[in-house]
Structure 1
Amino acid sequence: MRRLLVLFLCMLPWLANAALPLDRIKLPEGFRISLVSDQVPNAREMTWGERGTLFVGSNAAGKVYALDTASGKVRTIARDLQLPVGVAYKDGDLFISAVSRILRLRDIESQLDSPPKPEVVYADFPRKTHHGWKFIAFGPDGKLYVPVGAPCNLCDEDPDLYAAIHRMNPDGSGLELVARGVRNTVGFDWHPRTGELWFSDNGRDLMGDDVPDCELNRLTKPGEHFGFPYCHAGDVTDPKFSQRPCSEFVAPVAKLGPHVAPLGLRFYTGSQFPADYRNNLFIAEHGSWDRSEKIGYRIKRVELNEDGSLKRQSVFAEGWLEDGDVWGRPADVLVTPDGALLVSDDYAGAIYRIDYVGRQAE
């Protein structure tokens, strides 16, 4: 009996991994997917610490996690926070978004087993939770970029605050508006060569299965307006806010599909994948709810021309949606130091790793 118990305990990690059918994920030839951890409930945005710790925010658990990707060990480093989706690391400190507040854990990688109490960096963002969770990131200018989503499906409430992207100094000072007319971005990154900000935007609901598309956008100068609530996807005038034509606004670089819910996105800056993947965008499509036939639940690859225009988009990884049934929802992507791609899944509470192992990989 004791030997059987020991055998069962040894098999527990394998059983946990087997619960997620990763063999159903379709990838281009030469790529493979593996499970890093399935012990990260509601996993959303990811960021790296300088010592190799993977920090992960959550959208419902109220916790922030630190993951050792080599051993799979998961630590809870903050708890009882309000929708702490966003995490960003700078100079030894971890910054966390919590709806109305930006918090900081100082010198966090030296204190993973006894994390410090979060300090408040900024506390004056709206308290509304409709699109109130925030993906955050530090830009090339050293400033923290923080979006404030529209507090609604469709409205025009305080355009200097809502449906916008803002930035601030790391100490919370100097808040300024960067982009307007952005309904709800939950993912952005900067082009490795040009330094321009690229971001996803979730299109409005309740206009039907196929309208409007969600968007991939590019900011070329501060203050640009991307259309919400007047124009969607660059060419769909809203019937309730039709007083301003679409020609007044910046059109998206790419239409990503109706209700696919693009969340985290990152430029591929590694060298493990084939050369033609360099500086491509990977986008986590969380998947539709406002559609009679589900769409999304996949990782999109976007290739760009030298001038920043769309070259092509394609599906890079799919299989979390099968015949209308969902077993996973990609929420963010992140390049690893060795050039692989991590994917967070808030539905399965998991982190996956996608490697390139050559054309003969099986």
Structure 2
Amino acid sequence: MKRIPTILMVFIAIALLTIAWSQSAQNLFLPLISRLPVIPPADEVANRLQVAEGYAVRLYVSGLNRPRLMAIGPDGALYVAERGTNRIVRLVDGHSDGYADTPQPVAINLTGVHSLEWYAGDLYAAGNATVWRLRDVNGDRQWSTDEIVALVMDLPSDGGHSTRTARIGPDGMLYVSVGSKCNITVNCSEGDPRRAAILRYTLDGDIPADNPFADDPDPRRRAVWAEGLRNSVDFIFLPDGRLWATHNGSDGLGNDLPPEEVVIEVERGKHYGWPYCYTAELGPVPRNTQEVRDTRIPLDTTFTGCEQATPALFTDVAHSAPLGIDRLANGDVLIAYHGSWNADETPRDCRVQRIRVTDGQPVSAEPFLTGFRNNPQQECGGAWGRPAGVTIAPDGSIFVSDDKNGNIYRIVPVGS
């Protein structure tokens, strides 16, 4: 048997290594390149809105009726709560060109639908007075009446602050935010302890035995997880299980008070001050800060002083109206500021704000997406656009809903 010359063996080895490296490189890099989000040519939105360095913004879809909060489905599509039509629509980029195809209505007649949350293959939606579970039994990506179950019904919905947001916690429980009936209780009677609170239910709509007020004589209070939250329009759960909520403070104290409590860490059984007290610090709130009294509101037998209140983690200028919130991969959060409609002096901008997070705590804030107003003196109630929801997709795309002009914007990372 002839032996293969050494030099030939070297050439064979090099060839095999080259082929293996080439295949490995393709396996490692080509799928990553193909998953990069597509950026369409600059459009009217790109020319109008200013986004942070390292990102590009484009119109994703237009013509919706008051789109609010959104969620990415297990199929990769963007699902939107279209509050103005009481329906849920599904958005897909079927042509892979960076634009959504024609919106597909997938569920209708959901009164005041505001928030969406996927969990274990089911879609949970919250409206004015109801939390629904939508289960796609036949797999057609449409939900007929018999596939929609009302889990929580008869939530208080009279008066102001009618939006409801439902999220599933890491404990597998259903959390629901319910805003106050009015600005401050001196102006109207609240009555229902489920208002100005975050509630907690099982996924069947029952009261968990470990709720802080599960044995309260008032059966309505048994659902309360935390209270003193005038209007926490949205909230998220962090990877370590903490719950961070946005919060809209009271009006009537001037242009600068109270500061907007844009990040509150919500914990079991705690009271967050409203309507008796508020966090007066601006920016990151130091430890051991005590809230200050809103002297318009007399104390009562259940709340006797601001030492009972838990302050926010981070605040911003009054009348910013923080709504939707989501978390970037690096731990920072993006919050949609709906902006002011009745500021006494300087109107507050409607924009998406980035809250920088270091060591698990919010430390600073900076604009992320701006340009919705025609000039700095314009109230956001009359602006061209007004951001409401923020949702971040697995590929890094950031979707922002605009309930003023019916747009959804898609923000895409650019560069290396």
TM-score bracket for this pair, using the shorter chain length: 0.7 to 0.9
Partners of 1:196 and 1:218 within 8 A in 2:
no
- Whichever residue aligns with residue 279 of structure 2, its letter is A
Unmatched tracts of structure 2, length 5 or more: 1-41, 95-99, 209-222, 281-290
Query: Which of 195, 202, 209 pairs up with 2:241?
Result: 195
Indicate the residue corresponding to 1:209 in structure 2: 255
Partners of 1:283 and 1:333 within 8 A in 2:
yes
Is 1:240 the counterpart of 2:296? The answer is yes
Partners of 2:197 and 2:227 within 8 A in 1:
yes
158-167 vs 82-91, greater mean Cα deviation: 158-167
CA distance in 2, matches of 1:219, 1:311: 14
- Whichever residue aligns with residue 24 of structure 1, its letter is R
Partners of 1:49 and 1:109 within 8 A in 2:
no
Query: Which of 275, 288, 300 pairs up with 2:353?
Result: 300
Relative CO higher for 1 or 2, CA cutoff 8 Å, sep ≥ 6? 1
335-344 vs 238-247, greater mean Cα deviation: 238-247
Cα displacement (A) at 1:108: 7.2
**Cα gap change, 1:108 to 1:304, in 2 (>3 Å):** farther
- Whichever residue aligns with residue 389 of structure 2, its letter is D
CA distance in 2, matches of 1:148, 1:170: 17
Give the 5 Å matches for 1:131-210.
Answer: 131-155=161-185, 157-158=190-191, 160-174=193-207, 176-192=223-239, 194-210=240-256
Give the 5 Å matches for 1:33-72.
Answer: 33-70=57-94, 71-72=100-101
Indicate the residue corresponding to 1:260 in structure 2: 320
TM-score by length of 2: 0.74
Cα displacement (A) at 1:159: 6.5
SS at 1:23's partner residue? helix
Partners of 2:65 and 2:403 within 8 A in 1:
yes
CA distance in 1, matches of 2:229, 2:261: 10
Paired residues in the alignment total 332
Deviations, residues 165-220 of structure 1 (Å, cap 9, x unaligned) = 0121222122532211000011111122x210000000111222222122133436
Partners of 1:75 and 1:113 within 8 A in 2:
no
TM-score by length of 1: 0.85
SS at 1:258's partner residue? coil
- Structure of greater Rg: 2
Indicate the residue corresponding to 1:291 in structure 2: 343
CA distance in 2, matches of 1:69, 1:261: 31
Is 1:124 the counterpart of 2:148? The answer is no
Partners of 2:45 and 2:58 within 8 A in 1:
no
RMSD: 2.2
CA distance in 2, matches of 1:300, 1:321: 15
Indicate the residue corresponding to 1:73 in structure 2: 102
**Cα gap change, 1:56 to 1:95, in 2 (>3 Å):** same
Normalized per residue, the structure richer in strand is 1
- Whichever residue aligns with residue 341 of structure 1, its letter is I
Query: Which of 316, 325, 342 pairs up with 2:368?
Result: 316
Indicate the residue corresponding to 1:356 in structure 2: 413
Is 1:105 the counterpart of 2:134? The answer is yes
